Copies of this chain bind each other. A is one copy, B any other.
Amino acid sequence: MLYIIGLGLGDEKDITMRGLEAVKSCKKVYMEAYTSLLSFGLESHGLSNLEKLYGKTITLADREMVEEKAHHILEEALHSHVAFLVVGDPFGATTHTDLVVRAKKMGIHVQIVHNASVMNAIGICGLQLYRYGETVSIPFFTDSWRPDSFYEKIHSNRTMGLHTLCLLDIRVKEPTLESLARGRKAYEPPRYMTINTAIEQLLEVVQARQQPAYTEDTRCVGFARLGSEDQMIVAGTMKQLQSVDFGAPLHCLVITGNTHPLEEEMLEFYRCST
Binding site for B on A (CB under 8 A): 6, 8-10, 12-18, 20-21, 89-93, 95, 97-98, 100-101, 104, 112, 114-117, 119-121, 123-124, 126, 128-137, 156, 160, 162, 167, 227, 262-263, 265-266, 269
Please indicate which of the listed interface residues A13, A126, A129 has the most CB atoms of chain B within 10 Å of its own CB: A129
Please indicate which of the listed interface residues A89, A93, A131, A269 has the most CB atoms of chain B within 10 Å of its own CB: A89
List, sorted by A's number, 21 A–B pairs whose CB atoms are closer than 8 Å.
Answer: A8-B18, A9-B114, A12-B17, A14-B16, A15-B16, A17-B17, A17-B20, A90-B123, A90-B124, A91-B123, A92-B120, A92-B123, A92-B129, A93-B129, A97-B266, A100-B266, A101-B126, A112-B124, A119-B130, A129-B135, A130-B136
Copies in the complex: 2
How far apart sit A16 and B8, CA to CA, in the bound complex (Å)? 9
How far apart sit A8 and B227, CA to CA, in the bound complex (Å)? 15
How far apart sit A95 and B125, CA to CA, in the bound complex (Å)? 11
Given contacts A17-B14, A92-B129, A97-B266, contact A114 B104 (CB under 8 A): no
List residues of chain B with CB within 8 A of the CB of A92.
Answer: 120, 123, 129
Given contacts A20-B17, A115-B16, contact A120 B123 (CB under 8 A): no
What residue of chain B has the Cβ atom nearest to residue A125's Cβ? B91
When the two chains form the complex, which single residue of B13, B112, B137, B263 contacts A18, counting CB atoms closer than 8 Å? Answer: B13
Given A93-B130, A97-B263, A114-B121, 13 new contacts (CB under 8 A): A8-B115, A9-B114, A17-B17, A91-B129, A97-B128, A97-B262, A101-B265, A114-B124, A115-B115, A116-B116, A117-B120, A131-B134, A134-B160
How far apart sit A114 and B112, CA to CA, in the bound complex (Å)? 18
How far apart sit A6 and B93, CA to CA, in the bound complex (Å)? 20
List residues of chain B with CB within 8 A of the CB of A135.
Answer: 129-130, 132
What residue of chain B has the Cβ atom nearest to residue A135's Cβ? B130
Expressed in whole angstroms, the minimum distance between the Cβ of A38 and any Cβ of chain B is 18
List residues of chain B with CB within 8 A of the CB of A14.
Answer: 16-18, 114
A89 with B120: CB separation less than 8 A: yes
List residues of chain B with CB within 8 A of the CB of A90.
Answer: 123-124
List residues of chain B with CB within 8 A of the CB of A89.
Answer: 116, 120-121, 123
What residue of chain B has the Cβ atom nearest to residue A92's Cβ? B120
